[in-house]
Structure 1
Amino acid sequence: MTDLDRLLQFAARSRLPEGFGHLGDDGRVRPDRGQETWIVARMTHVFGLAQLSGRDGWDGLVRHGVEALVAGPLHDRTRGGWYAAATADGVPADDGKAAYPHAFVVLAAATATATGAPGGRELLDEALDVWQTRFWDDTEGLAVEEWDAGWSRLSDYRGANANMHGVEASLAAADALGDDDPRAARLRSQALRATERLVHGWARAWHWQLPEHFTAAWEPLPEYNREQPAHPFRPYGVTVGHLFEWARLALHLRAVIPEPPSWLLEDAVGLFTAAASRGWAVDGYDGFPYTLDWADRPVVRQRMHWVLCEAVAAAETLATVTGEATYGVLARRWRAHGEARFADPATGSWHHELTPEGAVAADTWEGQPDAYHLAQLLLLTGRPVRGSVAAASR
């Protein structure tokens, strides 16, 4: 079985002087690739979870991550916010500021705050201010997607993926701030509003085929990226792993809001059931394909490690919440599949992408970039359901 401590040792190899980098299949960091905010933030979060779970020796890497997000090349200290990526020379690699990486900065800052890391609370305050003033659209009850670097032009695209991680980050930030901070209740309310629109609204109306892409007026774009179906963040069609991930997040949300509506559990079950029944072995090979079309036919048949991690985590969470043995059976079955197919004995992590037949692939994901999905799965197993993985880890 995959060992969390060995996974963390693998993740620690991502350390670079000014942050964390991309890890290859050989277990070595790739400094030539520069840095990406989502990787730096996720790794900071993972090391914070390790510390919160009672493991010694991870506080230094949490501090390093906080310092990277505060003083490193990804942070625009003049205009505010974070670039998505920086080159190996420390130059911003893009001229936009997107909700997806900003959600992970909030998540990393929340977990760092929970550990008591120096500068963590200040980072969280700044990241939340950017999220609230630049990305959260209170009229829509959802987050917008992407600005230019100077915050003057807003993209017409709207996406479910960034909102999903915004829900995750908002719940983690609320837990880190504590109930005495008035922002905590507001963040949980915003998480509920976003979940209600995307899950209880579109996912339910579309028979659990959650549309991922939208216009500026929040009209679904079902044909978006048909010509680039294997996009790592905006693929065409139904993203199976996101159905599992939303199911789990609905249950985290249900655990922390007063008088939670019954639909949170009902919709979590609906999403999970759809993903499990339509996704597993749909092409005749064990495992979940990356994406399906609107007739439940596989589009990108490659197996992504994160999809399986989220499937197991959702099953574990539903088993805890409902007490129904069926979910536990599925969690164990799928976890065994992951250990047999994805686990890499050379690194202690999991291969990020496989062909349907089980060969290592790199069409969408090269190497083993980060430890976020797998570490969260290992830390969620056997723990109570809280608003965030950090709160459960404590």
Structure 2
Amino acid sequence: MNAEKTLNFKDKEYLKEQIFDILSFYYPRCIDKKNGGYINGFLRDGTIMDEETKHLVGTSRFIYIFSLGALLDGPEWCKKAAHHGLQFLENYHRDKENNGYFFELENQEVIDSSKQAYGHAFALLASSIALQAGIPGAKEVVNNLFSITEQYFYDSEYGYYMEEWNEDWTKSSSYRGQNANMHMCEALLTAFEATGDKKYINRAYHLAKRVTGELAEQTGGMVWEHFKEDWKPDWEYNKMDTKDEFRPYGFVPGHQVEWSKLLLWLDRHKSEPWMLSRSKELFLTAWKRAWDQSFGGMYYSLSPEGTVIDHDKNYWVMAEIIAASALLATKTGGDSFWNYYNETFSYCNKHFIDHTYGAWYPLLSEQNKPYSEEKSSAPKTDYHPASACYQVMRALSFL
């Protein structure tokens, strides 16, 4: 008998179990008792492969997943582990002279002093969910981060977030990207739910409408990754480099799906008809163009012409499909999106979830084979699947 046939991927206890299986892979081995913060690098069986790298995004994502554990009434160590990370964020990532947060450290030493919108978005996300979980000190971090992003990153002329500054905020990059704006939208939604302050939801609404509307209209309906300083598409930036962690080349189907999710998350608080229609359009376009009908899973990147240029399967893309399809299914009340949900979760259960050691494999080939024994390097932390399961649980509560 195939055990998978008995699984109910919509069962809240099953979803909760997935989150705590992830936490149990990382805890307590990820707690760096010597330098503070978290250890980020692990092989498949949990063996440490990198104990020095402290990445702003990784630190923030660990805070996030442990805060989720606390929100879901997990063991007391969830709250302690989240607070442990929040302290490191403030004591070492934060620039006490110029404010803002350093992008990368080696133990406690800064090795990348840049101030990046992407990293600040995740720090805002982490501190906001920590505030919801009652982690001490989180409220002050949320307030400081929003102040920083308003002062330095938000470009009121264009209505989007700029990408990057140097350490003392005297020189900014001309690069503009949708990825940081997408995660700022996610962080702002979470900050609104943590505080009830409408400034967060109003900005999230503004970003979602602009990116999935005006920006996408420039590029045929899907959201392109890279832009010039005037927010015109930059078709040459990182050309054919689909493996850049934060600035991959191409139309990334996973990001179309992620925006689909964000639009319906926004819809809970500030509903307008275009949100559902645009959410469906982005999701279905990504599925049609990038779902692998032979081996399952969604391809990673498409060319400007819409052809597949990276056939690999990335764990976070699958997690975003799970979240988006669940939100679409609960919003529409139809079976079609639950079919997408079940197909994707079944695929992940078979290929991505490590049933022996826990957590998810990071990257598979087109034929769903792991490339190495690496389970997690900075800044993975399995934030995407943990977050997806949490969002599905929330969506089901709206039925």
Q: Is the TM value for this pair above 0.5?
A: yes
Residue pairs, 1:56-205, within 5 angstroms: 56-57=75-76, 58-71=78-91, 73-88=92-107, 90-178=108-196, 184-205=197-218
- Establish whether residue 383 from structure 1 lines up as the match of residue 394 from structure 2: yes
Q: Which stretch shows the higher mean deviation, 151-160 or 374-383? A: 374-383
* Moved >4 Å (runs of 4+): 362-368
Deviation at 1:66, TM superposition (A): 1.1
Q: Which amino acid aligns with 1:196?
A: K
2:230 equivalent to 1:217: yes
Tell me which moved more, 292-301 or 78-87: 292-301
Tell me the residue number matched to 2:304: 294
**Structure 1 equivalent of residue 11 of structure 2:** none
Q: Aligned partners of 1:376 and 1:154: how far apart in 2? A: 31
CA contact (8 A) 1:141 1:190 kept: no
Matched, 1:23 2:46: no
Q: Give 1:192's aligned amino acid.
A: Y
1:371 aligns with 2:389: no
1:317: which partner in 2? 327
2:279 match: 268
Letter in 2 for 1:360: P
Among 275, 295, 310, the residue aligned to 1:285: 295
**Structure 1 position 331 matched with structure 2 position 350:** no
CA distance 1:100–1:46, change in 2 (3 Å): same
Check whether the contact 1:232–1:365 (CA below 8 A) recurs between aligned residues.
no
Task: Give me the whole-angstrom Cα distance separating, in 1, the residues matched to 2:373 and 2:216.
Answer: 28
Q: 2:47 corresponds to which letter in structure 1?
A: R
Pick closer, same or farther for the CA change 1:324–1:207 going to 2, 3 Å: farther
- Residue aligned with 1:51, SS: helix
- Aligned to 1:381, the other structure's residue is in SS state helix
Q: Is the 8 A contact 1:290 1:301 kept in 2?
A: yes
- CA offsets per residue over residues 224-268 of structure 1, 9 Å max, x none? 2114222111111111110110000011111112xx332111110
Distance between the aligned counterparts of 2:393 and 2:51, measured in 1? 39
Whole-Å Cα distance in 1 between the matches of residues 245 and 194 of structure 2? 30
**Structure 1 40/29 Cα, relative in aligned 2: closer, same or farther at 3 Å?**
farther
The 5 A counterparts of 1:237-248 are 237-248=250-261
Q: 2:14 aligns to what?
A: none
Aligned partner of 1:53 in structure 2 is: 72
Identical residues among aligned pairs (%): 27
Q: How does 1:223-242 map to 2 (within 5 A)?
A: 223-242=236-255
Say whether the 8 Å CA contact 2:123–2:145 is kept in structure 1: yes
Structure 2 vs 1, CA of residues 232 and 118 (structure 1 numbering), >3 Å: closer, same or farther? same
Distance 1:324 1:313 in 2: 16
In structure 2, runs of 5+ residues without a counterpart are 1-6, 8-16
Q: Distance in 1 between matches of 2:396 and 2:184?
A: 19
Decide whether the 8 Å contact of 1:21 with 1:30 is kept in 2.
Answer: no
Q: CA deviation at 1:9?
A: 0.9
| Residue range with higher mean Cα deviation, 369-378 or 105-114 | 369-378
Match of 1:4 among 13, 19, 24: 19
For the Cα contact (< 8 Å) 1:14–1:28, is it kept in 2? no
Could you tell me which amino acid in structure 2 is paired with residue 87 of structure 1?
E
* Distance in 1 separating the partners of 2:392 and 2:59: 24
The AA in structure 2 aligned to 1:19 is: G
2:110 partner SS: coil
- Structure 2 CA distance for aligned equivalents of residues 280 and 363 of structure 1: 26
Aligned position for 1:389: none
Whole-angstrom CA distance in 1 between matches of 2:313 and 2:64: 25
CA contact (8 A) 2:40 2:51 kept: no
1:358 is matched with which residue? 368
RMSD after superposition: 2.1
Q: In structure 2, do the counterparts of structure 1 residues 32 and 8 end up closer, same or farther at CA, with 3 Å as the change threshold?
A: closer
TM-superposition CA deviations, 1:159-181 (whole Å, max 9, x none): 00000000000111111112xxx
Identify unmatched segments of 5+ residues in structure 1: 179-183, 387-391
Taking the aligned partners of 1:210 and 1:203, their CA distance within structure 2 comes to 5
Q: Which moved more, 1:161-170 or 1:138-147?
A: 138-147
> Is the CA contact (8 Å cut-off) linking 1:21 and 1:36 kept in structure 2?
no
Contact 1:245 1:314 in 2 (8 A): yes
Deviation, structure 1 residue 279: 0.7
Amino acid at match of 1:170: L
SS at match of 2:115: strand
293, 318, 340: which is aligned to 2:350? 340
Distance 2:200 2:304 in 1: 33
> For residues 364 and 208 of structure 1, do their structure 2 counterparts lie closer, same or farther at Cα, with a shift above 3 Å needed?
farther
SS in 2 for 1:92: strand
Letter in 2 for 1:65: G
Q: Does structure 2 retain, via aligned residues, the 8 Å contact 1:38–1:101?
A: yes
Out of 245, 249, 254, the residue aligned to residue 267 of structure 2 is: 254
Cα offsets for 1:181-236 (capped at 9, x unmatched): xxx21221111111111101222453332111011111111232114222111111
How far does residue 11 in structure 1 lie from its aligned partner after superposition? 2.5
- Normalised TM-score (structure 2): 0.90
